[in-house]
Structure 1
Amino acid sequence: MGIDLTNAALISLAALAVVAAFIVRRGRDRLHDIRGPDAKSFWLGNFEDIRYQDQVGDCEFPWMREYGGVWKIHGIMGSENLVLADPKALQYVLQTSGYRFPKRRDILASVRMILGEGIVYVHGEQHNRHRKIMNPAFSAPQLKSFLSLFQNHGGRLVQKWKDEVVSADPSADPVFNVHRWLSRTTLDVIGETGFNFDFGALNNHDNPLSKVYENLFIDSMLYPHRLDLVFRHLWRQLPAWLLWYLRYIPSREYTRFRQYQNFMRKFARELLFKSEAVSGSKDVMSILIRANGSESDVSKLREIEVLDQISTLVLAGHDTTASSLTWWLWELAKNSDWQTRVRDELKQARAKVEERGDDDFSIQDLDGMSLMHATLKGTMRLHPIVWTLGREAGQDDVIPLAFPIISKSGKQLSAIPVKKGQMIDIAIAPYNRNPEVWGEDADMWRPERFLEIDKSRQTSVGVYANLCVRSSYRIAAGLRGCIGWRFAIIEMQAIAAKLVENFEFALPPQTEKTKIKRKPAGLMAPMADGYRGIWMGLRVKALA
């Protein structure tokens, strides 16, 4: 957690270089009439509360209940952020406004350190260029062809548990970290579907690719050094070319991501070479390469962009899916009645599959499982893998609200004017628990709400159950909506069906060491005080 003299010197030099400009830009209070919590300090503001809370939502959920769907927080060094958890405001910023609310420069620099210059990093016309080339790889026929691969990998995970874990101690149902197994499985899935390559992660826990991903965000982003938060805020004043070299700072916040990206770019070159050598392959990378080859020189992705697309696909295509399934199993373990209902639904669907002589569920079968969908939606609502996003106003604008808020002066506000450069936080986790959207029981895991909900009365925010969730594969609509959201949902359904058909899940004995917490790393990670890194220990029993 410490910071060496080199880092301190860099921070001091950067602070001296920008302090004058920062004070001028600070100007007057642009959000003076918007309510929000008091700041604990000038240097960190409310980021002291947010970045060091024990669990995601410890501070944001009470703020939302007090102030409504929009509030103001004090940022670093006296800056101010507008926080949005109102559906119409989110719709406007993420969809209606197009590219008028780009990622902030400090956020972009962080993305570049992690994923390089792929589709998550680029903006505007460059983002359109990336998306156009990637679209053919996520067409409906292409996704349909992946289903059997998803099911095969889910079956391999089932057999692995039966052979090596559950049967290891026949006298008792074992408790083990299901997230680690799910992560290795989804890594193998993206290897085959993405690159026609066998990563071998499920069969080899020492797989180098698995190791480079293990606890990546925990090691780099959970509870950062306080000086690093101040330092990163100053990045907004620095040119992009200089920000690239910050990856060489020798502290834990930067070293881990640098090592990861160096590994992935070398690994990606090997995958790229292999994909170019195989014509007609239907994996995502081969389709992307063919689509890129048909573009003009102006529109083509550069080699470094293609390499970083691979890194993005691997991270977004396995880690977020594994984490969502992990939280889903946790909720089913806590709610045995719903686990039974989902299993019964699967039994009925399986009987129909056998009647028609098919080997496994079709996409239509999976889409028809309303109870499974309801539980997945309920889980993704309460446990979005990325819990906040950073934006800024690219120009003066007015953000509309679905639910008016009360200002400090007592006025009712149905829209919020913002100035160019205003920092905005997309409050994903609070929106997903906003009682004005989801009802007074918004904090409860209640899947039946998705069977009862009147979609026509909701403001459209996301393409899946109107949720604002996930990360690089974020299931939100609009120009920056997730290109692979349907891929992720089908994969989750296929693996989820295999697991619930074959196993029963329950919580282990609940102690302070096994209590699961939503830790505020870059991803909302399940952790327990008695275990290092991401951990979701569940009691697993094989069904006859």
Structure 2
Amino acid sequence: MLSAFFRVFISLAVARVLWNVVRWLFKKDPLDNIPGPPSKSFLTGSMFELSNPRAWQFHHQIAEEFGGVVKFKGLLGENSLYVYDPKALQHIVVKDQPHIYEEGDLFLLGNKIIFGEGLFSTTGDLHRRQRKMLNPVFSIAHMRDMIPIFYNVVEKLGKALHKKVEEGPQTVEMHNWMTRTALELIGQSGLGYSFDPLTEGGTEHPYSISVKSFVDVSDKLKFSRFVILPFIAHIGTRRFQRAVVDFLSMFWKSLRSVRDIVDIMHNTSVDIFEEKKKALQQGDAALEGLTGKGKDIISILLKANMAASEEDRLPDAELLAQMSTLTFAAMDTTSNALARILHLLCDHQEAQDKLREEITEAQKQHGRLQYDELVSLPYLDAICRETMRLHPPVPMLLREAYQDAILPVSKPVIGVDGTKMDKVFVPKGTNIFISPIASNRNPELWGSDALEWKPERWLSPLPDAVIDAKIPGVYSHLMTFLGGGRACIGFKFSQLEMKVVLATLIPKFKFECENKNIFWSMNGIVHPTVDEGGALHTQLPLKVTYVGT
């Protein structure tokens, strides 16, 4: 049976390749007139240059040379677009979303298999219904309730770091600590569950280990996800598909790892979910006895769902899917954003000192800083905004045109033939790479110092060009958290987490960087990497000194 299955797969794959070759040779594509970098390979196009760990310079080069709409060759010679023009972005993420521009089928399919039918894998009315149910959970009122939970977690981190450096300065791998902390923050405040004691050598929950390793392991299956999965996803029943995965896992290590990670994430979510449902049935007193005391996101969501009308209520499977979806989304981006801030503060000691002084003065006046005090600290806010501007954790996002469309631009595109175009025809099926990093760093909007990390730019009015551009981002004229119907639903939650962590650590610890081999890998979610003789390790080793009292 399996040999027949693979024969069918190989036949389909060969047919696809031949079809793309024929289209490449004979079809006139309207995107051919859009300028862009030359393709280095018919097989891979410019994909490797666009998405490798050191792709930073390529992104800067094509944005600087070709402007806000760039054509480049994708796999098997397909034309794709790279977009950061603000007017074009407005149409892609707001005006023409979701009926024209939406997440690609392969992205949605992969996320559905991994996370279930949650926000990452749904579109249209179902996605809107899920967001409608989730939006109130991320209100300011609920954010205020999160503060005690956040401090409970972050103060454990502070104690662990203090213990490590109480005898003197030590080199500490801070990325691991930021990842553990971010997961415990979303664990307690999101799921009402503790995964990690946040102690040196403490035993981590299998869920914690699985979620942290997911990105690295799944990156090894990129080819399979985008080339093989479309052919096999709809073959046979779920039981048959699982049997195939189990068989292949016996000699395919990466697939076996992803399978085991997904199983652990799903089974743990089911256990937590059932515990919450049982506590809800028993009343508020039972919820009070759980981690999060009934104020966590899932408890609130379950209550709201029970009270919702029949048409708005989500089935258990969709509620369950939100758990792994929100946990993964909240952990990886926030932990890497925090690691980036610490690294930047190492390189800008004067900024670290200024931030320490601002937080310390506020703590002398108010004690432990609550929501209103945290959000009103101007320099802390400026550091978070500037880091999110210059270094978005997700530098590139993919959309697909589901029908032929006209894409207006704010600045004319000069075609290969010299034609000046104020709109671009986008054929159905075109892949569009949205570039938050190019938008956030656009010197025509942000000025000649757009590539510099300058928190002070947020302490005075932003340039008129930024305001007038009407960038469709949900946060501070930035595309970091996207915008429109698929904007990051938890961006306020993430910002608050980051501020609590910084307000706790910076007054007590000084961070310095002595390792010159750290660079930031661009794959998927940006993360710190140490190059040790060509061997790359996800790490951020920093010198930590206790300066508190």
TM-score, L = length of structure 2: 0.87
CA distance in 2, matches of 1:477, 1:17: 38
Give the deviation of 1:360 after TM superposition.
1.5
Indicate the residue corresponding to 2:125 in structure 1. 125
The counterpart of 2:489, out of the listed 462, 478, 483, is 483
Indicate the residue corresponding to 2:278 in structure 1. 277
Q: What do the CA deviations read for 1:345-379 (whole angstroms, capped 9, x no partner)?
A: 112222321xxxxx411222112111111111221
Query: Is the Cα contact below 8 Å between 2:53 and 2:523 reproduced in 1?
Result: no
> Any residues of structure 2 matched to 1:159-308 within 5 Å, and which?
159-163=159-163, 165-167=164-166, 169-170=167-168, 173-203=169-199, 204-221=202-219, 228=223, 232-233=226-227, 245=241, 248=245, 250=249, 251=252, 254-279=255-280, 280=284, 281-297=294-310, 299-308=312-321
Give the deviation of 1:153 after TM superposition.
1.7
Gaps of 5+ in 2: 285-293
Query: Is the Cα contact below 8 Å between 1:346 and 1:497 reproduced in 2?
Result: yes
CA distance in 1, matches of 2:68, 2:230: 27
Query: Is the Cα contact below 8 Å between 2:49 and 2:55 reproduced in 1?
Result: no
The counterpart of 1:542, out of the listed 527, 541, 546, is 546
Query: Is the Cα contact below 8 Å between 1:118 and 1:306 reproduced in 2?
Result: yes
Question: Cα 1:205–1:540, aligned 2, differ >3 Å: closer, same or farther?
Answer: farther
Query: Is the Cα contact below 8 Å between 2:9 and 2:231 reproduced in 1?
Result: no
Q: What do the CA deviations read for 1:153-190 (whole angstroms, capped 9, x no partner)?
A: 22211111101x112x52xx211211111111121111
CA distance in 1, matches of 2:472, 2:235: 34
Amino acid in structure 2 at the alignment position of 1:287:
I
CA distance in 2, matches of 1:527, 1:478: 32
Give the deviation of 1:62 after TM superposition.
0.8
Question: Cα 1:101–1:240, aligned 2, differ >3 Å: closer, same or farther?
Answer: farther
Indicate the residue corresponding to 2:41 in structure 1. 41
Q: Say which SS state the counterpart of residue 32 (structure 2) adopts.
A: coil
The counterpart of 2:458, out of the listed 426, 450, 459, is 450
Query: Is the Cα contact below 8 Å between 1:104 and 1:236 reproduced in 2?
Result: no
Q: What do the CA deviations read for 1:21-76 (whole angstroms, capped 9, x no partner)?
A: 5567663223011011111111111113223x342423121111110111011011
Give the deviation of 1:126 after TM superposition.
0.9
Give the deviation of 1:146 after TM superposition.
0.4
- Does residue 462 (structure 1) correspond to residue 460 (structure 2)? The answer is no
Indicate the residue corresponding to 1:524 in structure 2. 526
The counterpart of 1:423, out of the listed 431, 448, 454, is 431
Amino acid in structure 2 at the alignment position of 1:207:
H
Indicate the residue corresponding to 2:76 in structure 1. 77
Indicate the residue corresponding to 1:360 in structure 2. 368
Most deviating of 110-119 and 122-131: 110-119
Give the deviation of 1:91 after TM superposition.
2.1
Amino acid in structure 1 at the alignment position of 2:397:
L
- How many residue pairs get aligned? The number is 518
Query: Is the Cα contact below 8 Å between 1:218 and 1:521 reproduced in 2?
Result: no
Q: CA RMSD in A?
A: 2.7
The counterpart of 2:390, out of the listed 382, 387, 404, is 382
Question: Cα 1:33–1:461, aligned 2, differ >3 Å: closer, same or farther?
Answer: same
Question: Cα 1:183–1:401, aligned 2, differ >3 Å: closer, same or farther?
Answer: same
CA distance in 1, matches of 2:47, 2:449: 28
Query: Is the Cα contact below 8 Å between 1:118 and 1:305 reproduced in 2?
Result: yes
Query: Is the Cα contact below 8 Å between 2:471 and 2:479 reproduced in 1?
Result: no
> Any residues of structure 2 matched to 1:333-352 within 5 Å, and which?
333-352=346-365
Most deviating of 406-415 and 261-270: 406-415
The counterpart of 1:12, out of the listed 10, 13, 34, is 10
Question: Cα 1:181–1:6, aligned 2, differ >3 Å: closer, same or farther?
Answer: farther
Amino acid in structure 2 at the alignment position of 1:294:
A
Amino acid in structure 2 at the alignment position of 1:323:
N
Give the deviation of 1:426 after TM superposition.
0.9
Query: Is the Cα contact below 8 Å between 1:387 and 1:523 reproduced in 2?
Result: yes
Give the deviation of 1:404 after TM superposition.
2.6
Question: Cα 1:428–1:6, aligned 2, differ >3 Å: closer, same or farther?
Answer: farther
Q: What do the CA deviations read for 1:415-473 (whole angstroms, capped 9, x no partner)?
A: 2121222211112222222222322222221222223313533423322222222xxxx
Query: Is the Cα contact below 8 Å between 2:119 and 2:127 reproduced in 1?
Result: yes
Q: What do the CA deviations read for 1:208-228 (whole angstroms, capped 9, x no partner)?
A: 222112332123316x68xx2
Query: Is the Cα contact below 8 Å between 1:184 and 1:201 reproduced in 2?
Result: no
% identity of equivalent residues: 28
Give the deviation of 1:197 after TM superposition.
1.6
CA distance in 2, matches of 1:70, 1:181: 39
Q: Say which SS state the counterpart of residue 528 (structure 1) adopts.
A: strand
CA distance in 2, matches of 1:241, 1:302: 26
Q: Say which SS state the counterpart of residue 159 (structure 1) adopts.
A: helix
Query: Is the Cα contact below 8 Å between 2:214 and 2:258 reproduced in 1?
Result: yes
Question: Cα 1:49–1:312, aligned 2, differ >3 Å: closer, same or farther?
Answer: same
Query: Is the Cα contact below 8 Å between 2:135 and 2:489 reproduced in 1?
Result: yes
Amino acid in structure 2 at the alignment position of 1:132:
K
CA distance in 2, matches of 1:159, 1:320: 24
Give the deviation of 1:83 after TM superposition.
0.7
TM-score, L = length of structure 1: 0.88
Amino acid in structure 2 at the alignment position of 1:174:
Q
CA distance in 1, matches of 2:33, 2:232: 30
Most deviating of 34-43 and 249-258: 249-258
Query: Is the Cα contact below 8 Å between 1:508 and 1:539 reproduced in 2?
Result: yes
CA distance in 2, matches of 1:524, 1:13: 37
CA distance in 2, matches of 1:523, 1:479: 21
Q: What do the CA deviations read for 1:61-115 (whole angstroms, capped 9, x no partner)?
A: 1111110111011011111111102222222211122312111112222323442
CA distance in 2, matches of 1:336, 1:29: 52
Most deviating of 339-348 and 431-440: 431-440
Indicate the residue corresponding to 1:472 in structure 2. none
Most deviating of 312-321 and 202-211: 202-211
